[in-house]
């Protein structure tokens, strides 16, 4: 039986004004924090209580497969075909599998997960994603002892994706994580946002999101997940290894070679709104800092 979140049946204007909506339902502020935003940590909740609008989330995007301007993905992805769609999970595993999106929808129940997206360019959004922990999907294949990393590969289709006709990046787009990062419960398979089907410009039909890392680590339109022994070369590492490291954790103490990472601009608050302080690990340090115990995060950036 499919679980339907109230966000799926509630108009967006009420959904965003969730405090008054929850009070109308008879719940207090404490239940709001627990039931509505179980994955939004207190530091970020205190920093910003408003979700980014659906319009901003879907019209201001980095998705170079559809163009390098922020408005290109929305404009150029309208006819992108996401059906049929299959995802293979292979490599150093005992039971490689190939699943259709229909099978994934039947096996895994998506839930609401509100996370802050922080872009390496210095802007951020608070997005109500729909999805489930990646670990639930990866556990189906039983990785072998040789598997140390997980590589994600996006679709390569230059006929539909005009940006792939140019060597801006090494296509198809690839990203990677250590196994413990991939298996962390916060690492999410995203299937939608705002209780709706994931839009093309946001990575439909399926993308990965890692809340404590910069947005480019979250590969979109994934067709292959592969367990490997060696650290994979991601597309942005290939393009500029000095600027884009493998770990790419949000770290305000490590500047990008061309700009500071200490503050960020919140999309939707206007160009004159003050920038806010960027939090270590994007505010999720309590949950993930232990993954990097003893590591020099300026060296492993």
pLDDT digits (tens, 9 = 90+) for 165-175: 999 999 999 99
Phi and psi of 195, rounded to 5°? Answer: 70, 10
For the cut 70, the answer to whether the pLDDT of residue 20 exceeds it is: no
From CA 197, how far away is CA 207, in angstroms rounded? 12
Confidence bin at 47 (pLDDT 50/70/90): very low
Please give the share of the chain, as a percent, with pLDDT higher than 90.
82
Average pLDDT, integer, range 243-263: 96
Q: Provide the pLDDT for residue 121.
A: 96
Confidence bin at 24 (pLDDT 50/70/90): very low
From CA 233, how far away is CA 178, in angstroms rounded? 12
Q: Tens digit of pLDDT for each residue in 81-124?
A: 999 999 999 999 999 999 999 999 999 999 999 999 999 999 99
Q: Provide the pLDDT for residue 141.
A: 97
For the cut 90, the answer to whether the pLDDT of residue 216 exceeds it is: yes
Q: Provide the pLDDT for residue 270.
A: 86
Please give the structure tokens belonging to residue 9.
């049946």
Average pLDDT, integer, range 20-30: 37
Confidence bin at 27 (pLDDT 50/70/90): very low
From CA 153, how far away is CA 87, in angstroms rounded? 10
Domains of the chain: 10-39 (no CATH), 41-292 (3.90.420.10)
Average pLDDT, integer, range 202-206: 98
């Amino acid at each position: 039986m499919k679980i339907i979140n109230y966000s799926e049946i509630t108009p967006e204007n009420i959904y965003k004004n969730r405090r008054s909506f929850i009070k109308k339902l008879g719940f207090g502020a404490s239940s709001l924090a627990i039931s509505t935003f179980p994955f939004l940590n207190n530091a970020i909740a205190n920093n910003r209580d408003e979700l980014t609008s659906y319009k901003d989330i879907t019209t201001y995007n980095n998705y170079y497969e559809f163009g390098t301007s922020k408005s290109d993905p929305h404009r150029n992805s309208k006819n992108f075909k996401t059906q049929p769609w299959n995802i293979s999970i292979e490599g150093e595993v005992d039971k490689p599998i190939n699943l259709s999106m229909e099978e994934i929808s039947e096996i895994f129940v998506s839930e609401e997960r509100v996370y802050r997206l922080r872009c390496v360019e210095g802007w951020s959004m608070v997005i109500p994603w729909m999805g489930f922990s990646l670990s639930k999907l990866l556990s189906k294949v039983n990785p072998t002892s040789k598997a140390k990393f997980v590589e994600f590969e996006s679709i390569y289709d230059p006929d539909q994706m005009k940006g792939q006709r140019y060597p801006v990046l090494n296509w198809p787009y690839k990203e990677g994580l250590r196994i413990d990062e991939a298996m962390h419960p916060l690492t999410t398979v995203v299937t939608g946002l705002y209780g709706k089907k994931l839009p093309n410009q946001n990575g439909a039909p399926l993308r990965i999101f890692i809340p404590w890392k910069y947005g480019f680590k979250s590969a979109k339109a994934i067709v292959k997940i592969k367990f490997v022994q060696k650290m994979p070369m991601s597309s942005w590492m290939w393009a500029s290894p000095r600027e884009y490291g493998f770990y790419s954790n949000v770290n305000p103490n490590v500047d990008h070679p061309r700009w500071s990472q200490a503050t960020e601009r919140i999309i939707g608050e206007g160009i004159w709104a003050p920038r806010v302080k960027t939090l270590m690990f994007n505010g999720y340090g309590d949950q993930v800092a232990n993954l990097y115990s003893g590591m020099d995060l300026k060296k492993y950036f």
